[in-house]
Amino acid sequence: MTIDVVGVTKRFKTFTALDHVSLTIRSGELVALLGPSGSGKTTLLRIIAGLEWPDTGEVRFDGEDALSRSVRERNVGFVFQHYALFRHMNVFENVAFGLRVRRGADKLPEAAIRGKVNELLSLVQIDWLAERYPAQLSGGQRQRVALARALAISPRVLLLDEPFGALDAKVRKELRRWLRHLHEELPVTSVLVTHDQEEALELADRVVVMGHGRIEQVGSPAEVYDDPATAFVHDFIGETIALPGEVRGGALYFGAHALGLDPQGVADGPARILARPHDVDLADPGSTPFAGKVLAVRTFGPTRRADVELAGETGAVVVEAAVPHGQTLEPGTRVGLLPRRYKVFTSPRAT
Amino acid sequence: MNALDHTAHGHGASEGLPSALEQSHAYAHHGGRPARTEPPAVRIALTVIALAFIGLFIGLPLITVFYEALKRGWAAYVAALIEPDALAAIRLTLIVAAISVVANLIFGLVAAWAIAKFEFPGKSLLITLIDLPFSVSPVVAGLIYVLLFGAQGLFAAYLQAWDIKIIFALPGIVLATIFVTFPFVARELIPLMQEQGTSEEEAAISLGASGLSTFFRVTLPNVKWALLYGVLLCNARAMGEFGAVSVVSGHVRGLTNTMPLHIEILYNEYQFVASFAVASLLALLALVTLIAKTILEHRLAEEDR
């Protein structure tokens, strides 16, 4: 099912949670809404579900207006952040709930309910836990129950709010793979909210990066990582080295020193040159756009980082550069920084 | 639920572990008696004092009630209970308790639901008002109803015109009892419902359940033990209430006397056996309440796990 969100705005008192957000989610795809807390991603998910109503804007399911229907009538499977399992029902009854509350012609006979629930429990690989109560389950098992329960109503869309947020790192990784696998088996349109970029990039067909109630970029995991549309996306996803600069007359400068880098069409004024650590080479200080003194070198696991102090007219700027494997760098020496791939953005401080 | 889970475990650990550690520590240094354990004489003395206190102030009166009630034998005891005025008092007490418990059950659920699950203006005022009966003397509560509905009261002319009797009649007694007992159910439910939040209800509705279905399948089962606990306390108080009821009842024998009022009248008339016989029924109610309360507390603790 295709979901269209058109110009949705939502305010909570004075806080604008969503600011004219428009988004199209294609049928059968798995989309991740990624952003820091307060970016409006959960609010958007709850509006799609019908648990929250927008102040203005439209939500359409397959072209039909969804806002005129309540969450009951939208047929969405919602997986809550803390699972929200019914604590007084065992696993089987939790999953059966959506089938048991049906009325009239939709009501299934008991045998059909049992069959469907057992099928779902084996799909999520917890059929052996059917008699247990939520309090007796581990976090990962609860997650699977919540998913089976949401799938029981054969939803047109599956909405997941921070589905792995409460799990430890190892279980999280395992469940993530499994969810991706499940999505391929049951191609139901799925929207996932997460603040974990690794999760979004690994799981999703497309990633929607959100910040301050707006959509910053929509793209494939590779696009948002390799070609960030805004400085926010660049900063938020992956590691970023921020180099200072200024655009004057269509060229990039650091102080009085011309950098010889492409300003990428950015207008005159203070700018930020953003690059991935692995896209910045360390080289001979004489030949590179940036040069500075090494303050310290840190090693953690396979990566090494050097704090390099760039002296400018307006004061020193310390940037963190990646030190390639096999290269040694002594604190106190001078080193040059050569960004091979980079993006230039106007500096937010300028405006 | 998780948080509770942890605190429950935490308690267990903090009670068990450090004391065990302290003890072994103490043993190591003193070569024998744990440092923080008092001599046996002190321990025995403390236990005896505590037990004697409880015996003197709670046990003895309770025994006295049954002793005095049965002093003239079983026949006199039964006779005092099946005497028409006594039966009328028991019947009235049961009716009043049944009406006020049901009323406060509904009110308590509605108020707790509203307070725990919604934001609305005047919410903190409502929470404060629910506690009012705890802080107001029951006699004052009774007096309020007399001033409102009595012969010289605010609505006197109106009530007379329609020939409605509230004070010195069943409605007055019920109103006073409801007022005095209304915090019990709500107070028991509000913290529990607040802690449980609304996500289970949201889940139920997203799975296609109606509001009513959600209430009976999700909300109510989640609070059922706390609800029963509140009802139990509410009932015990409703049957035992003296002050507020005394003001509004008018003490009409066989008509507006509840059990506590009946006991007082009998006692004042030196009918000690009859007085204590009826009192023994209230004492029995207290014992039953106590046992049921213990069972419910056990269930509540289990629910939390």
* Percentage, residues of chain B above pLDDT 70: 87
Determine whether the interchain pair B204/A51 forms a contact, defined as Cβ–Cβ distance below 8 Å.
Answer: no
The reported pLDDT for the residue numbered B254 is 78
Q: Which residue of A has its CA nearest to B198?
A: A84
Determine whether the interchain pair A80/B1 forms a contact, defined as Cβ–Cβ distance below 8 Å.
Answer: no
Determine whether the interchain pair B5/A72 forms a contact, defined as Cβ–Cβ distance below 8 Å.
Answer: no
The reported pLDDT for the residue numbered B33 is 58
Mean pLDDT computed over every residue of chain B: 83
B222 CB near a chain A CB, below 8 Å? yes
Name which of B205, B207, B222 to mutate to probe chain A: the one with the most chain A Cβ atoms within 10 A of its Cβ. B207
ipTM of the complex: 0.82
The reported pLDDT for the residue numbered B6 is 41
Determine whether the interchain pair A72/B221 forms a contact, defined as Cβ–Cβ distance below 8 Å.
Answer: no
Q: How far apart are CA A303 and CA A13, in angstroms?
A: 45
Tokens of B185: 């159910």
Cross-chain CB nearest to A98 (options B199, B207, B222): B207
Q: Which residue of B has its CA nearest to A142?
A: B2
B195 CB near a chain A CB, below 8 Å? no
B3: chain A residues, CB-CB within 8 Å:
none
Mapping DSSP onto H, E and C, the string for chain B reads CHHHHHHHHHHHHHHHHHHHHHHHHHHHHHCCCCCCCCCHHHHHHHHHHHHHHHHHHHHHHHHHHHHHHCCCCHHHHHHHHHCHHHHHHHHHHHHHHHHHHHHHHHHHHHHHHHHHHCCCCCHHHHHHHHHHHHHCCHHHHHHHHHHHHCCCCCCHHHHHHCCCCCCCCHHHHHHHHHHHHCHHHHHHHHHHHHHHCCHHHHHHHHCCCCHHHHHHHHHHHHHHHHHHHHHHHHHHHHHHCCHHHHHHHCCCCCCCCCHHHHHHHHHHCCCHHHHHHHHHHHHHHHHHHHHHHHHHHHHHHHHHC
User: In this structure, are residues A145 and B207 in contact, taking their beta carbons and an 8 Å threshold?
Assistant: no
B208: chain A residues, CB-CB within 8 Å:
72, 75, 98, 101-102, 153
Determine whether the interchain pair A101/B218 forms a contact, defined as Cβ–Cβ distance below 8 Å.
Answer: no
Q: Which of A28, A16, A75 is nearest to A188 (CA)?
A: A28
User: In this structure, are residues A40 and A112 in contact, taking their beta carbons and an 8 Å threshold?
Assistant: no
pLDDT tens track of chain A, all 351 residues?
899 999 999 999 889 999 999 999 999 999 999 999 889 999 999 999 999 999 999 999 999 999 999 898 899 999 998 899 999 999 999 999 999 998 887 888 999 999 999 999 998 888 899 999 999 999 889 999 999 999 999 898 999 999 887 788 888 888 888 888 888 888 799 999 999 888 899 899 999 999 999 999 999 999 999 889 998 999 898 888 888 888 888 888 887 777 778 878 788 888 888 988 888 888 887 777 888 888 888 887 777 888 888 876 666 778 888 887 777 778 888 888 888 888 888 876 533
Determine whether the interchain pair A101/B209 forms a contact, defined as Cβ–Cβ distance below 8 Å.
Answer: yes
pLDDT band with cut points at 50, 70 and 90 for residue B25? very low
pLDDT band with cut points at 50, 70 and 90 for residue B35? low
The reported pLDDT for the residue numbered A349 is 54
Q: Which of B57, B76, B206, B220 is nearest to A72 (CA)?
A: B206
Give the residue-averaged pLDDT of B52-63: 90
Q: What are phi and psi of A108, to 5 degrees?
A: -95, 150
B199 CB near a chain A CB, below 8 Å? yes
Q: How far apart are the first and last CA of chain A?
A: 41
Q: Summarize pLDDT for B88-112 with one digit per residue, the tens.
A: 999 999 999 999 999 999 999 999 9
Tokens of B126: 């409502």
Determine whether the interchain pair B217/A98 forms a contact, defined as Cβ–Cβ distance below 8 Å.
Answer: no
Cβ within 8 Å of residue A64, ≥6 positions away: none
**Would strands A64-65 and A56-61 be described as parallel, antiparallel, or unpaired?**
antiparallel
Alpha-carbon distance B16 to nearest alpha carbon in chain A (angstroms): 23
Determine whether the interchain pair B208/A49 forms a contact, defined as Cβ–Cβ distance below 8 Å.
Answer: no
Cross-chain CB nearest to B208 (options A82, A86, A153): A153
The reported pLDDT for the residue numbered A313 is 64
Q: How far apart are CA A283 and CA A333, in angstroms?
A: 12
